[in-house]
Structure 1
Amino acid sequence: MSTMGETRGFIHRIAISLVLLSFLVPWAHLHAAGEEQVSAITEWQMLWEQPGEEMTIEQVSALGDQDGWFPVKAEGEYPVLPEGIKSAWLKFQLPELSLNRPALNISKLYAKDMLIYIEDSITMERHRNYSYDINEVIVPLSNVESFKTIYVKLVVNIERLGLQNPIEIGEYDDLYRNYIKFDLIDVVLGTGLIFIAFFMMVSMLFLSRRFLPGWNSLFLVMLTIGVMIFTYSSFVDKFFPEYGKVVYILFDVASSLLIPALFSFFEKIFGSGPYGLITKYKTIQKYFIVFYLCLLIASLYSDTISQIYYSVGFIGFTVSILIGNIILLVSLAYQFKSKNKEAMILSTGISIFAGVVLLELLWYFYNNKLYKMFYWKISILFFLASLIIILVRRVMHNYEQAIQYSKQIEIFNNELQRSEKIELISNLAASIAHEVRNPLQVTRGFLQLLGQKSNDRDRSYMTLAIDELDRASEIITDFLTFAKPDLGEVKQIDVSEELQQIAAIIAPLATMSGGSVKLDCDEALLIRGNSSRFKQALINIIKNSIEALGENGKVEINAYKNENNDVVIEVKDNGEGIDPEDLKRLGEPYYSKKTKGTGLGLMVTYRIIEAMNGNLKFESTKGIGTEAYITIRSA
């Protein structure tokens, strides 16, 4: 595989990963918000302001409760905007404020322009020169403003006017934190997709020409969706209102380009579709874009056209999406006849997107356009992921095959090298182990006799020499076990009992190292083997885990049956972990990272598990920990 091919595959994998990971962000956002406890004002009064009879704050505050004011409850039946009415007033009384830094959070406040007064003093105002009417504001308060009356003047230019959500009262810092979180998800998703689109644009330099048409269409789809999600958020309107009109225009432009870009992509993947539906609808959409953009430009200079644009444009966009989804589903059904996997993938994505959008639109109109659609942003990511998967499947097929072949060759080479080393060590161990052990035992005996007749200083040297002879004897024992892993008496072993005994033996060592051992073992796990050899193998693995622990380290031992009815024993630690290169060499003779290690202990462990018709493998992440998996056939 060429360098260009590897780069291409890497780029496509990164693109898919970013989109799929972004699915998780909305759920983290939903669980993160709303943890602070706040009180709420759920009732207020509302006053319609008659055309041509605009009132000042002094006039409004002088009105009695019976002078045109009517009660409104949060999330209750929303008052219908009378014909000809363009402005209204809200008023409510603050409760006693005992917080350190009290504040109000007013959300789902529908108005193009807004002024907020505390008694007769203006405290906040917002004016827009574009058709956006969703407001969410934080109003700082002080304790001296307890029981004062808040007045809010609202001015409308479309069909919505008023307040829907309860008014929250809480600590300023808590409310402001949630105030930022509320739209942060849109910013993260939108900018993430825009970044991916930019990354895709750069990657065009590495693509062959035959992939460019589909890649260009997908780039435009990704860019328009990213811009739509980002600009649909009220984040910019809240924190950078001077750019509100630009954002408003960007959303409409992106939404008008989305459907043509999608159909251009589908045309590259599936052709013109049955009866040429995909190509024909793409052509119709081009004319609709021209009309839509002309109407958008005209709406910037005329309020009348702006109202027409808001109604016609939104309905046109909604209808174009619904018709487009129907055409796509028909085309995909046609592709299903040939069992096209790409059609199945795309149908899944588009079904999720179309279903969610349809439900949200129905709910939007059912609630008199007071519902702010949210879940379409999540569903469109599934749709987008299906598009990416389809294109990447085509580009990466050969790349994945090459990677698979390369991994297989590497595995075969490692197994061959390991087999050769094992055979060499086995022959060497069998030939010298017995010859070396007897002289060592004789030497040890004489050193013990000399130690009894020596002074204290010489006796310490004798003790050190005897310890080293014992270590050499252990190495020779490992050689013999490795050369011929004789299990001795083979019988049925209860894994639960064995592990409990091992945990009791190894627990003091873990405690001395500042760690702990946790055992979780299912009952009735039976295997065949030698109890002593089985303990030797497990203790070797667990000791290695304990030696890798840091402060407050932990070793977990789990045993259970897998779907093949084999017994699986897991040994997990949260130690320092093993580098990938070192992980590949585990079990090699004489390979060890320990100061006095020989590498024979783990080599012997492998041989014992193999002699019991089992399998041993390791997984590790540097800085996180290591996991050992032993799989042995049930008795």
Structure 2
Amino acid sequence: MNLIRKCSVLVIVLILLGGIFAPLKSSAGTPPDEIRLKTWKVLWEKEIKEWDEISKGNHSWETINIEQGLPDVPEGVRSAWYRVDLPKLSWGQPGLGIYKLYGREVQVVSFDGKTLYNSVRQFGLDQYRLLLPIPSQQDGQSLFIHVKTPDDRIGIQESMLLGNYQEMFPNYVGSGLTNILLACSMILMALVMLFCSVLLRNAYFSSWITLAVIVLSFGFLILGYTDFVLVILPGYETALDMVFGAALISLMLALSVYFEKLVGSGPFLIIRRYRHLLVVYSLLFITFQLCNAFVSSEYFNSYIFSLDIYGMLLVIQLALLLIISIVYSVKKNFDAILFIIGYAIFSIPFIGELVWFILKEGQYDLVYWKWGILGFEFVLIIMLGRRIANNHERVIRYSKELEMYNNELQHSEKMEIISELAASVAHEVRNPLQVTRGFMQLLNHRSGPKEKEYLDMALIELDRAANIITDFLTFAKPELHEVILLDLGAELRHIESILVPLANMQGGQLKLHIEEDVFIYGNSSKFKQAFINMVKNSIESITVKGLVIISAHKKGNKVFVHIKDDGCGMTEKELARLGEPYYSNKSKGTGLGLMVTFRIIEVMQGKIKFTSKKGIGTEVMVEFPYGELNNPPIPV
């Protein structure tokens, strides 16, 4: 949902920007005093006629009126002469705008035989957009346009404009610059991506490079399909054709690699195997094209290795990617769903224009497919950005888990060392303490009042040392002895009765909120030892009129016990050290009590969690497995 919301915001921003810049485009308008030419004459050629024959001969010209529709081209005709009769011209430098003319070879000749324009194209782009400066004459004159093509599309397809050349030139350039700017922006974006790739980690490097190649290929495809490039760079028809072919090859290969990296290879690795086939075909295609460029031979001009066949292979690949995307999207692969969305953004205008091209019998040029490409690129960038973001989140999650496991390992090792130390030392220390205590009791009966005071203090400290030893032994071997089904309510009420006097002495209150029929397996005495220690800590943390709440409830197959107080609370640093030996917030505390509590809860298959805020209070949450009469007891 977050991704969809961000994409919606981006679309709204683009629409607003389009609304801002639309008036700028429309403000240019059409220059005034232009004449729209809707009629001209044509002479279909079955045999090529040179200008000398046209200028001297008497020929039967056929009149064309664009408002009445274009005539059918005679069968077998692949060249024609067009005669445009111009009215009287009053401009200092007149200009003639021809905005849709189909052909591979175009020659424009003035009435006096002067060649105004001549172009020969050896590649697939057969549409011309021309703005020609013509000689200024007070009397009417005629222009002759010779068109040759091996294709079915031929000749002038739209009305022409006659006007002031200087006023027509900005509109002519502006209409052609849109595709140039779109292509150049893609190429620039791809180059920036390539430069930025050196800053990426190896995990993202190949995907980022592949995406940059896709964007670069799309940019050169649009550039190669734009006839306005030849206005800027006349004479580079062959180079433009080679750029278009190279862009088509790199696009096919890079798109399949990108899809495989982000979505998958598909069943039976079909995407990878199809790409291997394309690599072999591409090498043969390049070889034949280079040989055809340098060696004039019909052998190297094979239709099998032409752009038409390559275009068919591209359509097959796009169909495969769409089918595999649908297969993965059924499996809830979000990258596949995104690819389908991007594919739809690209294919809907492209297929619509292709259908219209067929309905118009080839008299239409594809325009809007370029904007579909732009939308497709945005989706591909979103796919990669989403993958990088997911990997970043995964790395952060793994780092946190690794830190947690490392802390648990350190804690486990520390507890194991303390357990071994406690088991080996406790018995050895307890025996001398008991002997010492016995002799001091004997001395106490035979001593005077002053000596008794000192001996009593010594006995108290010996008892305190003995309790520490007992805690050590409990921590080292927290045996539950007798494991029974405990009624949690009864156990906690017993603990309440023991600790209510202590709470009253602190000036606070102790309250219970316990559900009925909440049971766990454990040892009653150890359970009381652990919870008395925790509740006692909560009571000692509160001030006058403080409150300690003990609650217990069952949720699913778990039992939860909460001990909450409104005492002094702890910082995050203090919370992190809870359970460590010899760490305590009390002035005379050893930290062993809470350490023993952790061990008892652990042996009873429980989990304990502390949450606290300084000056607000602390809450302890203990989780146990729910105990039922037919359940086996906890293994000790």
CA gap 1:22/1:237 in 2 versus in 1, 3 angstroms: farther
Instruction: Please state whether the residue corresponding to 2:357 is helix, strand or coil.
Output: helix
Q: Paired residue for 1:378? A: 371
Structure 2, unaligned runs of 5 or more? 1-6, 397-636
CA-CA distance at 1:265 after TM superposition: 0.3
Name the counterpart of 1:185. 178
Aligned counterpart in structure 2 of residue 61 of structure 1, from 40, 55, 63: 55
SS at match of 1:176: helix
Quickly say closer, same or farther: Cα 1:24–1:130, change in 2 above 3 A: farther
Contact kept? 1:353, 1:383, Cα under 8 Å: yes
1:262 CA displacement: 0.4
The within-5 A match list for 1:106-117 is: 106-117=98-109
Q: State the Cα distance separating 1:315 from its structure 2 match.
A: 3.3
3-state SS of paired residue (2:236): helix
User: Do 2:106 and 2:120's aligned partners in 1 also have CA atoms closer than 8 Å?
Assistant: no
SS in 2 for 1:114: strand
In the TM superposition, residue 125 of structure 1 has moved relative to its aligned partner by 2.6
Structure 1 residue aligned with 2:95? 103
Query: Closer, same or farther in 2 for the Cα pair 1:31/1:251, shift >3 Å?
Result: farther
2: CA distance between counterparts of 1:359 and 1:308?
31
Number of aligned residue pairs: give it. Answer: 383
Q: d(CA) in 2 for partners of 1:27 and 1:45? A: 38
- Distance in 1 (CA, whole Å) between partners of 2:393 and 2:197 is 20
The answer to whether the Cα contact below 8 Å between 1:105 and 1:137 also exists between their aligned partners in 2 is: yes
Residues 194 and 223 in structure 1, CA contact (< 8 A), matched pair in contact too? yes
Match of residue 46, structure 1, among 42, 47, 50:
42
Matches of residues 70-81 of structure 1 in structure 2 within 5 Å? 70-74=62-66, 77-81=69-73
Is 1:36 aligned to 2:3, yes or no?
no
1:266 and 2:262 aligned: no
Q: Which residue of 2 aligns with 1:255?
A: 248
Superposed displacement of residue 298, structure 1: 4.3
Contact 2:78–2:152 (8 Å) recurs in 1: no
Asked whether the equivalents of residues 227 and 254 of structure 1 are also in contact (C-alpha less than 8 Å), the reply is yes
Aligned match for 1:167, one of 160, 174, 187:
160
> 1:76 and 1:379 mapped to 2: Cα distance?
34
Equivalent residue, structure 1, for 2:386: 393
Matches within 5 A, 1:75-474: 77-82=69-74, 84-128=76-120, 130-131=122-123, 132-300=125-293, 301-302=295-296, 309=303, 313-397=306-390
Q: What is the deviation of 1:21? A: 9.7
Residues 288 and 305 in structure 2, CA contact (< 8 A), matched pair in contact too? no
Q: Retained in 2: the 8 A contact 1:138–1:176?
A: yes
CA distances 1:537-594 after superposition (whole Å, capped 9, x unpaired)? xxxxxxxxxxxxxxxxxxxxxxxxxxxxxxxxxxxxxxxxxxxxxxxxxxxxxxxxxx
Q: Which has the higher contact order (CA 8 A, sep 6+)?
A: 1
Query: Highest Rg: 1 or 2?
Result: 2
Letter in 2 for 1:272: S
Give the drift of 1:122.
Answer: 1.5
SS in 2 for 1:130: coil
Partner of 2:490: none
Map of 1:511-522 to 2, 5 A cutoff? none
- Contact kept, 8 Å, 1:115 with 1:122, in 2: the verdict is no
1:25-58 CA-partner distances (Å, limit 9, x unpaired): 996897467533432111111112332x52334x
- Residues in 2 aligned to 1:157 and 1:29: alpha-carbon distance in whole angstroms: 41
The verdict on how the C-alpha distance between 1:161 and 1:33 changes in structure 2, with shifts beyond 3 A counting, is: farther
Q: 1:258 to 1:152 in 2, by over 3 A?
A: same
Please say if residues 325 and 354 of structure 1, whose CA atoms lie closer than 8 Å, have aligned partners that are also in contact.
no
Structure 1 CA distance for aligned equivalents of residues 237 and 299 of structure 2 = 19
- Output the amino acid matched with 1:94: L
| Per-residue deviation, residues 513-544 of structure 1 (Å, max 9, x unmatched) | xxxxxxxxxxxxxxxxxxxxxxxxxxxxxxxx
| Matched-pair contact (CA < 8 Å) for 1:322–1:354 | no
Mapped contact 2:87–2:140 kept (Cα < 8 A)? yes
Shift of 1:345: 2.0
**Counterparts of 2:298 and 2:75, CA distance in 1:** 16
Distance 1:313 1:75 in 2: 38
Instruction: Classify 1:226/1:22 alpha carbon distance in 2 versus 1 (closer, same or farther; 3 Å).
Output: farther
Letter in structure 2 aligned against 1:113: E
SS of the residue aligned with 1:127?
Answer: strand
| Letter of the 1:327 counterpart | L
Offset, 1:378? 0.4
Matched AA of 1:220: V
Q: Distance in 2 between matches of 1:234 and 1:70?
A: 29
1:164 Cα deviation from its structure 2 partner: 0.8
Percent identity for Structure 1 against Structure 2: 26
C-alpha distance in 2, partners of 1:289/1:28? 45
User: 1:323-356 CA distances to partner (integer Å, 9 max, x unpaired)?
Assistant: 2232222222222233333222221110121222
* Aligned residue identity for 1:61: S
- CA change 1:299–1:363 in 2 (3 A) is farther
Instruction: Report the secondary structure of 2:42's partner residue.
Output: strand
Between the aligned partners of 1:21 and 1:400, the Cα distance in structure 2 is 32
C-alpha deviation, 1:312, in angstroms = 7.0
Q: Tell me which residue corresponds to 1:476.
A: none
Distance 1:84 1:302 in 2: 25
Task: Give the residue type in structure 1 aligned to 2:40.
Answer: W
CA deviations over 1:440-482 (Å, ceiling 9, x no partner): xxxxxxxxxxxxxxxxxxxxxxxxxxxxxxxxxxxxxxxxxxx
Instruction: Specify whether residues 78 and 252 from structure 1 end up closer, same or farther in structure 2 by C-alpha distance, changes over 3 A only.
Output: farther
Change (3 A) 1:188 1:142: same
Cα 1:24/1:76, change in 2 over 3 Å: farther
Letter in 2 for 1:96: K
Shift of 1:99: 3.5
RMSD: 3.5
TM-score by length of 1: 0.54
Change (3 A) 1:286 1:248: same
Contact kept? 1:200, 1:219, Cα under 8 Å: yes
Distance in 2, matches of 1:117 and 1:206, equals: 57
State the 1:100 CA deviation: 4.6
**Unpaired runs of at least 5, structure 1:** 1-12, 404-635
> Cα–Cα, structure 1 residues 156 and 305, in superposed 2: closer, same or farther, change >3 Å?
farther
Between stretches 368-377 and 221-230, larger displacement belongs to 368-377
List per-residue Cα deviations over 1:293-317 (Å, max 9, x = no partner): 23433443549679865x9734324
